[in-house]
Amino acid sequence: MVEIDPDFIQAPDNRPKPNVIEAENVPVIDLSPILDSSSNIEKDPLVFDELVRKIGSACKEWGFFHVINHGAPLESRQKIESVGKKFFGQKMEEKKKVRRDIVKVMGYYESEVTKSVRDWKEVFDFTFEEPTLIPASIDPHDKEVTHWYNQWPEFPPGMREAFQEYAQHMKKLSIKIMELIAVSLGLPAERFNEFFKDETSWIRLNHYPPCPNPDIALGIGSHKDTGALTVLAQDEVSGLEVRRKSDGEWLLVKPLPNAYIINVGDLIQVWSNDAYESIEHRVVLNTEKARLSYPFFLTPAHYTMVEPLKEFTNDENPPKYKPYNWGKFLATRKLGNFMKLGVDNIHTQHFMIT
């Protein structure tokens, strides 16, 4: 990682604040009632109704929540942390052997802190479906598709197997949460499942090295997740901050052992026509400790047309977003990492109807 340019100054609304509030009363949702075979949930539907109510309240009021007793094995998560630390602990020339580029968009890259780039981190990306089908260009009239493949380093051994195993657990958990969110919105549990038949979901392993000047840099700047749902795991080092919806204050979210943080993404916001809104968040840095996080991004098939569902629109509540193709959206964002496309970095807000 490069040293911070002393002339580097962030935008005021994105600069870490010295007195960030520690998050309190963040929803912690216990999923054991729907996972425990000995549960009496079928005999007592009130248990399920209460779980759905908590999910809906968390999505509406916070845009994120912790889940515990979620059924994802701790051993699989420990493998990811182990191989991740070993991979990032290598010399740069070894990591660069699986560096991403415009052809191989999955793999390793490092962010430099400069006047135009705020992130201070290293990343390894892995796509869930291999190959993942994606549009070959951002031209809306071009129907050709291409394939994204993963790159795997020789070291550490077992990295590929650890990622593939972990991804299966995250897919299962994310779909279960999507079903609970659907019910909380008054929809059938399986309403969203059709979108993920040929998914473009992926995992990102983030490594945030210690930063000598954390007051003028961020691990990653303020943003919202563009997919449907994010299932975030992190080590014991704090760094995640979310912007509280009620007053706009930044809150530091402390890690809970073996819990996952669930972020509502932009796609849920669009599908629900703003009934639920995605959460703005960022990562602050530590002067002494490195931090490791590994989010799973649940995203739909490339051919998915994203627009408010008919269940949430009528004459009194018209659609708040124009339809857009998810694959073209994703391709535009990915290709923008490697070349100038002649268009601004695309965001979901560009499709808002004003």
Give the confidence band of 218 by pLDDT, cuts at 50, 70, 90: confident
Neighbours of 42 (CB within 10 A): 8
End-to-end CA, the chain:
42
Q: Is residue 276 part of a domain?
A: yes
Average pLDDT in the chain: 88
Report yes or no on 1 lying in a domain. Answer: no
Summarised one tens digit per residue, pLDDT across range 246-290 is 889 999 999 999 999 999 999 999 999 999 999 999 999 988 999
Segment 284-307 shows an average pLDDT of 95
3-state DSSP assignment of residue 343:
coil
Q: How many domains does the chain fold into? A: 1
* Three-class secondary structure assignment of 40-82: CCCCCHHHHHHHHHHHHHHHHHCCEEEEECCCCCHHHHHHHHH
pTM of the model: 0.90
Residue percentage of the chain with pLDDT more than 90: 72
- Distance between CA 212 and CA 214 in Å, rounded? 6
Q: How far apart are CA 351 and CA 354, in angstroms?
A: 9
Task: Report pLDDT for 36.
Answer: 65
Contacts of 353 (CB under 8 A, 6+ apart): 318, 319, 320, 321, 322
**Amino acid occupying residue 86:** K
pLDDT at 35 over 70: yes
Confidence label for 227 from pLDDT (cuts 50, 70 and 90)? very high
- Would 7 be classed as within a structural domain? no
Helix (H, G, I), strand (E, B) or coil at 108: strand
**Token pair of 339, please?**
């070349």
Instruction: Tell me which H or E stretch contains 109.
Output: strand 108-110
Q: Cα 116 to chain center, whole Å?
A: 23
List the domain range (segments joined by +) for residue 303: 12-351
pLDDT band of 343, cuts 50, 70, 90: low
Is residue 5 a part of any domain in this protein? no
Could you tell me which of 214, 280, 225, 215 has the C-alpha nearest to residue 247? 280
Q: Tell me, yes or no, whether 275 lies in a domain.
A: yes
pLDDT band at 120 (very low <50, low <70, confident <90, very high): confident
Instruction: Give exposure, 252-270, as e/b (b: 16+ Cβ within 10 Å).
Output: ebebeeebbbbbbbbbbbb
Q: Is residue 2 part of a domain?
A: no
For position 335, which CATH number holds?
A: 2.60.120.330
The total of other beta-carbon atoms located within 10 Å of residue 16's CB is 18
Q: Contact 234/293 with Cβ under 8 angstroms?
A: yes
Whether 209 is in a domain gets the answer: yes
In this structure, is residue 148 part of a structural domain? yes
pLDDT confidence of residue 123: 95
